[in-house]
Chains A and B, each alone.
Chain A
Amino acid sequence: MIESDIAKRSFAAAVKPGRFSDSPLERLVTSHDLAPMPKVACLAFKMMPDVVVRPKEPEEVAEIVRIANSWGWPVTPRGAASWGFGGAVPNKGGVTVDLASMDRIIGLDVERGIVRVQPGVVWLRLDEWLNRRGYFVPYYPSSAPGATVGGWISTGGVGVGSYKYGTARDNVRSLQVVLPSGQMINTAHLLDSRHPSQFDLTCLFVGAEGSLGIVTTIDLQVYPKPESFVPTTYSFPDMDHVFNALVQISQARLKPYHVAFVDGNYFRFLRAMGREAIETGGVVNLVFEGPKAKVDEEIRYFDALMTAMGGVRMSDEVAQHEWKERSYELRSKKLGTGAVIGEALVPVDKALLVTHDMLKLVRKMKMNVSVMGYLIDRSTVAFLPFYLTDERRWIKALSSLSFVKKFLDISNKYGGRGVGLGLFMANNIYKMRDRNTIELLKKIKETIDPEGRINGGKTTMLQLRYGIKVGPRLFRFGMNALALLKRLYPRDRYDRPVPGGFTGGEHE
């Protein structure tokens, strides 16, 4: 107890006054992420940190890590926690380093189009800042209004604009990282990033989910603001037509900036909430940007293609609305008390088969699921099904979680794989990589972080609060049992908002 108090005082001294907390409220706030985890999960994981620190500078982060090392405390880096796999949640308590406080845009190299930011900068704010200077950041997560730069790149960074501009690993030029030893490194020489003449470790840390070190500075490639920017929306009779259209888009000679799809259920959820929403079997949103002559030609080209595939172009007003809604895809979660989202990468030519199998699963598990997603490149669709949940009914909520695992099994069957490992999905790594590579990943983790101090027990292994490692077989058994349990419940019905919620506010 005395040791713990001394450790807390050390952490408090490492940051400026007001940037340390051990209050129950602050610790509770940082004990979960987007996923509404039932309280029973605390039996397996110590998700509540012992202290929360909010550093402002990289040197403070390094000092925090050194103190954690000296006291043997686990360290959990945290951004906006807008993902749902537990990557930003402790599994053994310790110190949570809330990087949302490192929110400075350090500067823009106008001649080279590179912006340097701290990890806590929010994407939307960064884009607005760049817009005022004639630039824009064309790749970002759909959760851009709240998600941080550091958080998203740590997940591998697949999102809006990836179809044309690539993922985070294509656009992060260099990182400054505090290693678990407390040392700071730059992962690449800034100008080596396209043509390295030294070992480039950037991509080792991009997508590492904060398990190899804490990112403290990020150099990003940004682009001149385009002359023209036009979203379009096409409605289709059903999802078969939608996925056939996606295959044609992926084979087209031209390339839109962003290609997204949403199923008809999504709009049914919205109507159940009392919101105005279109009647459709599914929509495809195509977004174009660039010089006006190029954009006009691209719109003509894809309009002919979408019409030939059975699509009907919606009004510009609908298209603008759909574009604005890209960051609010979980509005309908008010029908439950939360929403759980799965995420998988699927070969574009197999997306329809994945959908059909998923719908069979939905029927078996008596769930109500909507699916949305986007093209990442000409071969790959990011597939994001979500279901509504009510974690107050914790057994049902817990058993429903097995849907995500079962859906990922379907993706794997068709050559796809899940996105994100974090804490809850760590065992999925066995379906993503071959055994030799997994061994190497573990060796790299051990090399960089021999004590497993930073986000340990995640990403390359699943470890419970008592240090017990859960292997893939036990995980699979548990999830299958939960799926069976879910099938014993009556069909989910989220066709009206749950009672007791506030409605009719100014944002409704």
Chain B
Amino acid sequence: MSGLVQTTSQVVQVSNANELQSFLTGCRDRGQPVVTIDSHLLRTSNWMSVGSALQLDVSRMNWVRVEPARKLALVGPGARFSALVSAARAQGLVVDLEPLAGIDFTFGDWAHESLRMLSTINSGLEGVLRNVKVVAPDACYQTGYDDFPANGGGYDLTKMFMTSFLTLGVPYEFAIPLRPGSDVVLVKTYSFSKPEEAIRAGIAMHRSGFAPALQAGSGDTGSILTSGSIEKSEGLRLTVRFEGTPAITEAAEKTFDEIAKSKGGNETWKSVEPQWPLDPSSISPAAWLLGVCPCDTLSLPSVMKDISNMASEAGRAVQFHISDIDPNVSVLVPIFQGPPTPEILRSIGSYLVNRRMTLRGNVAWNSLLGDSRSRPRLELVRRIKSHVDSRMILNTHMMGAI
């Protein structure tokens, strides 16, 4: 493992796939446990150190290569979203993604959260992720998938790797499809006094045939992230982003206005440019993003109400950001002012676990990864892990008892 940069006695930085392979080979031969680390902005504890494990930092693997002919970008895990956007724009191309809460995370951060921190237009993560190349702990390059969108060449491993919370391998390159830019980008915000109506409006807009990207917040997400000050609000602001020709955008806007009006919403803001990405260094230390919680969309209002009540009982306020709204599942991010107490973490954690079991909400905390209700499925994954990580060195603590 000589030549690799150890920034502390426990953190190892690698800067390319060969170094990554070399590092994991060395760890495998020694039986040395490894945990991968991200930017720590999300408080999901996926980064936590375990026992004598070395921490692997891939932030230096930050390349972005745009291939205009293939309308594809090849991105390293240390690259930030803004770098991808800039590189694509230089070629007249855009990417169909929006970062969660507008924060300029790295692709490595996203990989830690199974790409749940990305909003997409109508397609889910598969539609915006062609391929992931990973180094597995047994130090083989495992192409998750090639650069084509469809299967038909053996089993598609992309989703399995990307939902393994880096227990099966460490991604070193993501293939992201790009598309030509649009004539007009419309960004519009509607405010609703009742969250239920905002959610219903979002679902109706999603189904309108115009395929917008939708996010919502109980206050101004950018404001709390940069100032750390909670904005108390009972309602919800729904932000819709749409791209097209002037005529199509005009028709879409008219449709969105009609939907919002029919649900009691008022237009509060309109722009022709999105307001992201938000530089992570500008985020206030007082703003605590408590995990990424995909929830049954229709249950969102009651989940927000319950979490607010729990926080209120503990004398704390909470604001919400909702990303990637679709009729099935949306991503809820509770944001606290200052670190929540262990009591709040425990109560909200157990609440969300309970929601998962009953009302189909869930949470990304790593301790739940091994807590599957489907034992055969978990056993199957454990057997697959034993093939790619025979010494069980990579993020194994996240898989429950092996």
Binding site for B on A (CB under 8 A): 111-114, 155-158, 162, 166-170, 173, 179, 183-187, 189-208, 212, 223-224, 226-227, 250-254, 289-291, 293-294, 297-298, 301, 343, 345, 347, 349, 376-380, 382, 417-421, 428-429, 432-434, 436-441, 443-444, 447-448, 459-460
Contact = CB atoms under 8 A, between A and B. Distances in A.
Nearest to B294: A195
A199 B149 contact: no
B51 interface: no
A212 B378 CA distance: 16
Contacts of A417: 146, 148, 153
B286 to A, nearest CB: 27
A349 B68 CA distance: 11
A112 B127 contact: no
Nearest to B370: A198
Contact of B208 (A173, A185, A291, A301): A291
A162 B150 contact: yes
16 contacts: A169-B156, A169-B159, A179-B376, A194-B328, A196-B116, A197-B363, A198-B368, A199-B160, A204-B157, A204-B160, A294-B251, A417-B153, A432-B154, A434-B141, A437-B143, A438-B154
Nearest to B154: A441
A301 B324 contact: no
Nearest to A255: B179
A186 B164 CA distance: 16
Contacts of B364: 197
Given A190-B328, A199-B381, A432-B153, 19 more contacts: A111-B327, A156-B153, A179-B380, A185-B374, A191-B296, A194-B124, A194-B294, A195-B125, A196-B163, A199-B378, A203-B151, A212-B155, A289-B209, A291-B208, A298-B248, A376-B150, A379-B71, A419-B150, A433-B153
A433 B248 contact: no
Given A114-B328, A197-B364, A191 B380 contact: no
B245 interface: yes
A199 B75 CA distance: 23
A199 B255 CA distance: 38
Which of the listed residues A168, A201, A205, A254 has the most CB atoms from chain B within 10 Å of its own CB? A201
A345 B148 contact: yes
A440 B251 contact: no
A448 B380 CA distance: 7
Contacts of A447: 380, 383-384, 387
B189 interface: no
Given A196-B163, A297-B247, A444 B149 contact: no
Interface string B373-390: 010111011011001100
A197 B116 CA distance: 9
Contact of B329 (A167, A194, A201, A438): A194
A224 B180 CA distance: 27
A202 B150 contact: no
Nearest to B149: A377
Which of the listed residues B154, B177, B207, B360 has the most CB atoms from chain A within 10 Å of its own CB? B154
Given A185-B374, A197-B114, A432 B146 contact: yes
Contact of A192 (B244, B294, B387): B294
Contact of B179 (A226, A293, A349, A378): A378
Interface residues of B, number: 79
A190 B296 CA distance: 10
B277 to A, nearest CB: 20
Contact of B251 (A195, A293, A421, A448): A293
B125 A380 contact: no
A436 B378 CA distance: 24
A343 B328 CA distance: 34
Interface in B93-135: 114, 116, 123-127
Contact of B156 (A162, A207, A250, A459): A207
A189 B373 CA distance: 10
Nearest to A422: B152
B313 interface: no
A187 B377 contact: yes
B291 to A, nearest CB: 10
A184 B380 CA distance: 11
A343 B153 CA distance: 12
A106 B207 CA distance: 23
A3 to B, nearest CB: 30
B378 to A, nearest CB: 7
Nearest to B141: A436
B372 interface: yes
Given A114-B328, A421-B153, A166 B123 contact: yes
Nearest to B299: A191
Contact of A199 (B155, B177, B377): B377
B149 A167 contact: yes
B163 A200 contact: yes
Contact of B155 (A167, A198, A382, A444): A444
A436 to B, nearest CB: 4
B173 interface: no
A265 to B, nearest CB: 25
A433 to B, nearest CB: 6
Nearest to B296: A191
B153 A429 contact: yes
B180 A201 contact: no
B230 to A, nearest CB: 25
Nearest to B359: A191
A290 B69 CA distance: 29
A359 B324 CA distance: 47
B140 interface: yes
Contacts of A378: 71, 177, 179
B140 A157 contact: no
B384 A444 contact: yes
Given A170-B127, A198-B163, A224-B209, A191 B294 contact: yes
A198 B155 CA distance: 19
Contact of A226 (B71, B177, B209, B388): B209
B159 A444 contact: no
Contacts of B163: 196, 198-200
Contacts of B72: 379
Nearest to B245: A297
A444 B387 CA distance: 8
B152 A421 contact: yes
Interface string B163-174: 110000000000
Nearest to B125: A194
Contacts of B154: 207-208, 421, 429, 432-433, 437-438, 441, 459-460
Contact of A440 (B245, B247, B388): B388
B184 to A, nearest CB: 10
B57 interface: no
A123 B73 CA distance: 34
Contacts of A345: 148, 150, 152
Contact of A377 (B157, B177, B252, B298): B177
A227 B209 contact: yes
Which of the listed residues A294, A378, A417 has the most CB atoms from chain B within 10 Å of its own CB? A294
The 4 closest A-B pairs by CB, nearest first: A207-B151, A156-B151, A432-B153, A195-B294
Contact of B328 (A191, A208, A428): A191
A186 B150 contact: no
A170 B114 CA distance: 16
A167 B124 CA distance: 12
Which of the listed residues A166, A168, A250, A428 has the most CB atoms from chain B within 10 Å of its own CB? A166
